[in-house]
C-alpha cells in the first residue's frame, strides 16, 4: 500500500498531469465563484476532454476543478449572501454579516485556510479508509438515509432564525415543493398546474438564486448602500491574516468538522447536501457563547467550510471503490472512470491502487494550490464590499439570471427566479428562514425514494426500530431540545438576534404569509386525495407536518400583530411603518424593472435584454453618465458572447428578433453576436 501511495504522488507531478491539474484548479475557482455554475457544470464541460486521455491526467483535470469549487464558492456566500453552490448554504449565515461589518477579508482568510485543511484532511482520511470503510457504508440503507435527511432538516430549521416552528414549517413547505412533477413510484404528475415545465420537478438553481440573491440585491439597489455597512477605514480586525489566525485559534473545531465532512460525505445521496449544516449545528451546540452566531461569528464560517471541502475526498470513496455514486457530481466521475478504461470496484483497491491514490493526491494538491491563490486574491476581492451598491447590482443580476438559465434553458427558469425572488423577499422581511426550504428542496427527491423503499421493504413503518434509525432519532430530539433551550434562554435574557437569517420581526408581513401557507397545505392535502396511496403518502407526510407547525406560528404571529396594533394605535399605522421600514414602494419598482427585462427579452433576446437592463438601471437608478452605462453594458455583452455563448455554447431563447434579424445582417457579421 505504501508503494502505491508514493507512486500515486509521483504520477500527479509528472507532465502533463500537473499541467492539467493547474488548469482544472483555475477553471474550478472561476466556476465556484460565479453563482449558478459550480462543479457539476464544470464536470459536464470537461468530461468530453477525458476521451482519449490517460487516467491520471484525466482525473487531475476533473478532480482539480471539482475539488476547489467548494473553496471558491465562499466568495459569493460571503460577498453577496448567495450560496455559490449547495455546499455553502450555511456559510452565508455568518459570512455575509461579516462582509457587512467590513470583515470580508477576515472571513476569506479563515475560510480558505480551513478549506485547504479540510480538503487535505478528507483526502488523507480517504487514503487510510479505503480498505476499512465498506462495512460502515453498508450499514446505511434506505431507512437510515431517510432519517439522515430528517436530521439535516431539523438542524437547519432549528439553527436559522428566531423561531423553530417557522423553520420546521418552511422545511415542510420545501419537502412539498420537491414533490412537484412526476411521482417517484407511478408516472402521475403532482402539483404541476397543468404546466409541462413543472413535470420534471422545480428547477433547483433558479429557486436558490431567486431566494437568496434577489432579496440581497434589492437591499443594495433601493438604498444604494455598499455590501459593507461601514467604510474601509472603520473596519477593525478585518484583515485576511486575522482570519488565518482565527483558523488556527479554532483548530480543534476545524478538525472536528473535517472529520464530520469526511465521514458524512461518504454516505451516498445525502452527505454533501447536509454536511455543512451538520457541521454548523455542531459548532453552535458545542460553543459556550452562542450569542454571535448568525450575526458574524467567525466560527460559523470555519465549521461549514472545513466540512464541505472534506466531503470531496469522502464522497469519492464509495464511487471509486464500490461503484456507488453519492451525488450527481460523483456519478459523472463514475462515468469518467469508465471512459478512461477503469472499472470501479475491487480493482481500484488492488491492481489500480496507485491510480486511486493519484486521485487522492490530486485533491490534496488542488486544495492547497486553490487556497494559496484565493488567499493572494482575496484582499482585492474583499474591496468589492466597499463599492457603491448601484455599481454591483447590474453585474450580479446578469450572473444570477444567466445562472438561472443554466437550470434548463427555459423561459420558465427566469420566471421561477423572479417569482422566488419575490417570495424570498417576503420571507426575509417576515422573519421566515429561507435555508430550510432550499435544503428540503435538495433532499426531497432522495428522501422520498428512501421513504418509499423503506415502507415497502418493511411492510410499513417497522424500519423505525432499526438501531441506527433510533440513534438518529435520538440525535434529532437532542438537537431540537438544545435549540429550543437556547432560544428560550435568549428570549429570557432579551438577546434574540436582531440581524441574520429569519431574525426580522414584521408580523404584518409574517401573519398573512402564515395564513397563505396554511391554505396552501390544506389545498395540497385536498389535491392529494385523488392519487393512489403510493403517490400521496410522502406529500401527506409533509402536509401533516406543515399543518402541525403552522398552527403554532399563526398563534404567535397573531399575538405579535395584536401587540403591535395596540402600540401603534391602528392596523393602518402598522402597515405604514412596515412599508417604510421595508422600502416597499421602491422594492415593487425594482421587481417591475426585472419583470420588464423579461418581457423585453421575449422580443430582443437575452444577449441584448441584459445589456439594456444594465444601461437603464445605471441611468435611472444610479444616475450615472451615458459613458459609464454604455461601457458597463458593453462588458456585460462581451461576457455573454465570450463565455456563455462561445465557451459554454448555451441554447438561447428564440426571441422575435431572431426570426428576421439574421436575414438583414451582412455575411461578414455573425448572427450569434446578437441572437
Is the per-residue pLDDT at 390 higher than 60? yes
Per-residue model confidence as pLDDT tens digits over 246-283? 888 888 988 888 888 877 777 665 556 677 778 888 88
In the chain, % of residues over pLDDT 90: 16
Whether 566 maps to a domain, the answer reads no
- Tracing cell 450580479 back to the chain, one arrives at 396
- The model's pTM: 0.81
Task: Give the least confident one: 305-309, 344-348, 371-375, 557-561.
Answer: 344-348
Contact criterion met (CB below 8 Å) for 39 and 330? no
| Euclidean distance between CA atoms 323 and 199, whole angstroms | 30
Residue after which a domain boundary falls, among 551, 575, 606? 551
39, 329 Cβ separation under 8 angstroms: yes
Helix (H) or strand (E) holding 338: helix 328-339
Burial class from Cβ neighbours inside 10 Å (0-12, 13-18, 19+) for residue 347 reads middle
The pLDDT value recorded for residue 480 is: 82
| pLDDT (tens digit per residue) in 100-124 | 888 888 888 888 888 888 877 777 7
Residue 430 contacts residue 509 (beta carbons within 8 Å): yes
- Is residue 576 situated within a structural domain? no
Task: Check if the beta carbon of residue 503 is closer than 8 Å to that of residue 511.
Answer: no
Using DSSP's 3-state secondary structure scheme, residue 7 falls into helix
What's the confidence (pLDDT) of residue 498? 47
Give the per-residue pLDDT at 616: 94
512 and 598 assigned to the same domain: no
Average pLDDT on 557-581 reads 84
Chain center to CA of 317: 23
Give the number of domains in the chain.
2
Whether residue 587 is predicted with pLDDT greater than 60 in this model: the reply is yes
> Which of 497, 526, 551 lies at the terminal end of a domain, its last residue?
551
What dihedral angle (degrees, nearest 10) is formed by the CA atoms of 214, 219, 225, 226?
-40
pLDDT (tens digit, 9 = 90+) per residue, 632-657? Answer: 999 999 999 998 888 878 889 989 99
- 531 and 627 fall within a common domain: no
- Cβ-contact 405, 606 below 8 angstroms: yes
* Cα separation, 101 vs 292, whole angstroms: 13
Q: Say if residue 382's pLDDT is above 60.
A: yes
Collapsing DSSP to helix, strand or coil, 540 comes out as helix
- Using the predicted structure, report yes or no on whether residue 138 has a pLDDT greater than 80: no
- The model's confidence at residue 502, banded by pLDDT at 50, 70 and 90, is low
**Position 87 pLDDT exceeds 80:** no
In DSSP terms, which residues pair with 181 in a beta bridge? 190
Same domain, 618 and 535: no
Least trusted range by pLDDT, from 200-214, 372-386, 471-485? 372-386
Cis bond before residue 16 (omega within 30° of 0)? yes
Residue range of the domain that includes 653: 584-673
pLDDT of res. 514: 92
483 vs 61 pLDDT, higher one: 61
Q: What does the pLDDT read at residue 418?
A: 94
Give the Cα separation of 261 and 248 in Å (integer): 18
- The candidate with the shortest Cα–Cα distance to 106, out of 379, 501, 388, is 379
Are residues 615 and 471 part of one domain? no
pLDDT at 13 exceeding the cut of 80: yes
Rounded CA gap, 467 and 456, in Å? 19
Rounded to an integer, what is the distance from CA 574 to the centroid of its chain? 35
The verdict on residue 574 lying in a domain is no
* pLDDT of 177 above 50: yes
Q: How far apart are CA 550 and CA 50, in angstroms?
A: 51
Between 251 and 85, the higher pLDDT residue? 251
Helix, strand, coil shares of the chain as percentages rounded to 5? 75, 0, 25
- Classify burial at 420, counting beta carbons within 10 Å of its beta carbon; exposed 0-12, middle 13-18, buried 19 or more: buried
Please check whether residues 187 and 320 belong to one and the same domain: yes
Q: Determine the average pLDDT of the residues in 275-292.
A: 80
* For range 548-555, the mean pLDDT: 92
Distance CA 14, CA 9 (A): 9
Residues 483 and 608 reside in one and the same domain: no
C-alpha cell at 7: 507512486
Does residue 575 form part of some domain? no
Q: Is residue 558 part of a domain?
A: no
Q: Which of 630, 285, 616 is nearest to 482 (CA)?
A: 285
440-484 pLDDT, tens per residue?
A: 887 788 788 888 888 888 888 888 888 888 988 898 888 788 777
Closest alpha carbon to 595 in 399, 414, 409: 414
Residue 487 sits in the same domain as residue 620: no
> What pLDDT shows up at residue 637?
95
Provide the mean pLDDT of the chain: 82
CA-to-CA distance for 294 and 274, rounded, in angstroms?
18
Query: Does any domain span residue 572?
Result: no
**Average pLDDT for residues 419-432, to the nearest whole number?**
89
> From CA 35, how far away is CA 51, in angstroms rounded?
29
Please give the Cα distance from 367 to 357 (Å, whole number).
15
Does residue 573 sit within a domain? Answer: no
| pLDDT value at 367 more than 70 | yes
Residue, of 237 and 616, whose pLDDT is higher: 616
pLDDT at 349 over 70: no
Residue 542 lies in a domain: yes
Task: Say what the pLDDT of residue 492 is.
Answer: 65
Q: What whole-number distance in Å separates Cα of residue 651 and Cα of residue 437?
A: 29
Same domain, 481 and 342: yes
In the predicted structure, residue 237 carries a pLDDT above the cut 60: no
> Shortest CA distance to 122 belongs to which of 316, 319, 369, 268?
316
pLDDT band, very low/low/confident/very high, at 503 (cuts 50, 70, 90): low
The answer to whether 196 touches 203, Cβ cutoff 8 Å, is no
Residue 86 has pLDDT above 80, yes or no: no
Distance CA 456, CA 449 (A): 11
Q: Which residue, chain included where needed, has cell 459556550? A: 288
Does 326 lie in the same domain as 251?
yes
Give the per-residue pLDDT at 232.
Answer: 57
Query: What percent of the chain has a predicted confidence (pLDDT) above 70?
Result: 87
- Using an 8 Å Cβ cutoff, are 302 and 74 in contact? no
Joined grid coordinates for residue 375? 488567499
Q: Is residue 544 located within the same domain as residue 603? A: no
Strand partners, 182: 189
Reported confidence tier of residue 628, pLDDT bands at 50, 70, 90: very high
Together in a domain, 643 and 507: no
User: By CB neighbour count within 10 A (0-12 exposed, 13-18 middle, 19+ buried), where does 31 fall?
Assistant: buried
Helix axes 2-13, 353-382, angle to 10 degrees: 50
Q: Are 227 and 219 in contact (CB under 8 A)?
A: no
Are 491 and 620 found together in one domain?
A: no
Amino acid at each position: 500500500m505504501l508503494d502505491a501511495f508514493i507512486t500515486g504522488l509521483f504520477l500527479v507531478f509528472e507532465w502533463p498531469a500537473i499541467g492539467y491539474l493547474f488548469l482544472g484548479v483555475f477553471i474550478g475557482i472561476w466556476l465556484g465563484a460565479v453563482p449558478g455554475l459550480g462543479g457539476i457544470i464544470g464536470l459536464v464541460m470537461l468530461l468530453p476532454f477525458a476521451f482519449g486521455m490517460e487516467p491520471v491526467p484525466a482525473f487531475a483535470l476533473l478532480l482539480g476543478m471539482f475539488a476547489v469549487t467548494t473553496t471558491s464558492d465562499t466568495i459569493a456566500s460571503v460577498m453577496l449572501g448567495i450560496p455559490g453552490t449547495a455546499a455553502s448554504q450555511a456559510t452565508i449565515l455568518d459570512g455575509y454579516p461579516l462582509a457587512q461589518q467590513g470583515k470580508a477579508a477576515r472571513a476569506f482568510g479563515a475560510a480558505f485556510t480551513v478549506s485547504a485543511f479540510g480538503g487535505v484532511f478528507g483526502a488523507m482520511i480517504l487514503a487510510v479508509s479505503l480498505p476499512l470503510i465498506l462495512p460502515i457504508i453498508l450499514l446505511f440503507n434506505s431507512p437510515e438515509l431517510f432519517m439522515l435527511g430528517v436530521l439535516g432538516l431539523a438542524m437547519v430549521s432549528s439553527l436559522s432564525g428566531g423561531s423553530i416552528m417557522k423553520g420546521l414549517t418552511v422545511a415542510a413547505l420545501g419537502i412539498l415543493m420537491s414533490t412537484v412533477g412526476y411521482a417517484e413510484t407511478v408516472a402521475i404528475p403532482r402539483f404541476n398546474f397543468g404546466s409541462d415545465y413543472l413535470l420534471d420537478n422545480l428547477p433547483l438553481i433558479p429557486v436558490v438564486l431567486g431566494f437568496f440573491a434577489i432579496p440581497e440585491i434589492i437591499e443594495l439597489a433601493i438604498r444604494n448602500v455598499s455590501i459593507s455597512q461601514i467604510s474601509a477605514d472603520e473596519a477593525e480586525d478585518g484583515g485576511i491574516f486575522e482570519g488565518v489566525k482565527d483558523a488556527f485559534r479554532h483548530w480543534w473545531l476545524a478538525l472536528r468538522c473535517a472529520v464530520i465532512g469526511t465521514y458524512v460525505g461518504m454516505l451516498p445521496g445525502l452527505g454533501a447536501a447536509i454536511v455543512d449544516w451538520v457541521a454548523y449545528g455542531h459548532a453552535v451546540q458545542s460553543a459556550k457563547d452562542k450569542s454571535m452566531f448568525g450575526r458574524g461569528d467567525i466560527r460559523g464560517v470555519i465549521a461549514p467550510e472545513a466540512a464541505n471541502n472534506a466531503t470531496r475526498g469522502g464522497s469519492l470513496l464509495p464511487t471509486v471503490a464500490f461503484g456507488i455514486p453519492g451525488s450527481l457530481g460523483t456519478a459523472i466521475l463514475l462515468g469518467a472512470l469508465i471512459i478512461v478504461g477503469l472499472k470501479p470496484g475491487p480493482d481500484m483497491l488492488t491492481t489500480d491502487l496507485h491510480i486511486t491514490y493519484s486521485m487522492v493526491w490530486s485533491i490534496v494538491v488542488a486544495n492547497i494550490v486553490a487556497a494559496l491563490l484565493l488567499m493572494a486574491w482575496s484582499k482585492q476581492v474583499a474591496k468589492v464590499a466597499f463599492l457603491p451598491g448601484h455599481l454591483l447590482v447590474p453585474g450580479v443580476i446578469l450572473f444570477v439570471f444567466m445562472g438561472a438559465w443554466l437550470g434548463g434553458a427555459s423561459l420558465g427558469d427566469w420566471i421561477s427566479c423572479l417569482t422566488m425572488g419575490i417570495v424570498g423577499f417576503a420571507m426575509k422581511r417576515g422573519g421566515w428562514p429561507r435555508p430550510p426550504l432550499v435544503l428540503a428542496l435538495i433532499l426531497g427527491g432522495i428522501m422520498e425514494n428512501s421513504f418509499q423503499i423503506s415502507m415497502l421493504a418493511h411492510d410499513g413503518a417497522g424500519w423505525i426500530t432499526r438501531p441506527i434509525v433510533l440513534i438518529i432519532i435520538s440525535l434529532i430530539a437532542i438537537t431540537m431540545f438544545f435549540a429550543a433551550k437556547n432560544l428560550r434562554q435568549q428570549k429570557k435574557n432579551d438577546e434574540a438576534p436582531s440581524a441574520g437569517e429569519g431574525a426580522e420581526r414584521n408580523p404584518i408581513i409574517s401573519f398573512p404569509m402564515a395564513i397563505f401557507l396554511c391554505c396552501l397545505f390544506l389545498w395540497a392535502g385536498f389535491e392529494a386525495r385523488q392519487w393512489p396511496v403510493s403517490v400521496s403518502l410522502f406529500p401527506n407526510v409533509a402536509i401533516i407536518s406543515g399543518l402541525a407547525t403552522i398552527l403554532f406560528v399563526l398563534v404567535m404571529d397573531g399575538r405579535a400583530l395584536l401587540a403591535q396594533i395596540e402600540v401603534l394605535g391602528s392596523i393602518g399605522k402598522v402597515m405604514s411603518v412596515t412599508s417604510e421600514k421595508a422600502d416597499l414602494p421602491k422594492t415593487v419598482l425594482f421587481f417591475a424593472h426585472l419583470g420588464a427585462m423579461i418581457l423585453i427579452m421575449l422580443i430582443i433576446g437575452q444577449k441584448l435584454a441584459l445589456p439594456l437592463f444594465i444601461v437603464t438601471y445605471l441611468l435611472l437608478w444610479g444616475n450615472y453618465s451615458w459613458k459609464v452605462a454604455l461601457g458597463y453594458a458593453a462588458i456585460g455583452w462581451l461576457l455573454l458572447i465570450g463565455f456563455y455563448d462561445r465557451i459554454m455554447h448555451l441554447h438561447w431563447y428564440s426571441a422575435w428578433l431572431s426570426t428576421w434579424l439574421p436575414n438583414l445582417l451582412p455575411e461578414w457579421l455573425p448572427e450569434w453576436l446578437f441572437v
